[in-house]
Amino acid sequence: MAKAVKICAIVVAIIAAIVGIYICVTKFINKKQAKTEDEDNYVSCSCGETDDFKTETVA
């Protein structure tokens, strides 16, 4: 009886460790994907698209 309880406890501990690792890995992957999506969605500057600006040259 005591051996069965120990075996069950060991199995539960192993399953808990696997679930914990899985959760950590998925959170890390989601953060990494969110970071790369933010880098792709940048705001571009439209300063050079208008004809109303004056350029200055340094002589």
Q: Confirm whether 56 is domain-assigned.
A: no
pLDDT at residue 1 above 70?
A: yes
pLDDT for 3 equals: 94
SS3 51: coil
Structural domain total, the chain: 1
**Parent domain of 26:** 2-37
Query: For residue 34, what pLDDT is reported?
Result: 72
- Dihedral sign of CA atoms 35, 39, 42, 45 in order: positive
Rounded CA separation 26/33 (Å)? 10
- At residue 32 the predicted structure's pLDDT band, cuts being 50, 70 and 90, is confident
pTM for the structure as a whole: 0.53
Q: Is residue 19 part of a domain?
A: yes
For residue 12, pLDDT beyond 90: yes
Does some domain include residue 31?
Answer: yes
Q: Is residue 42 part of a domain?
A: no
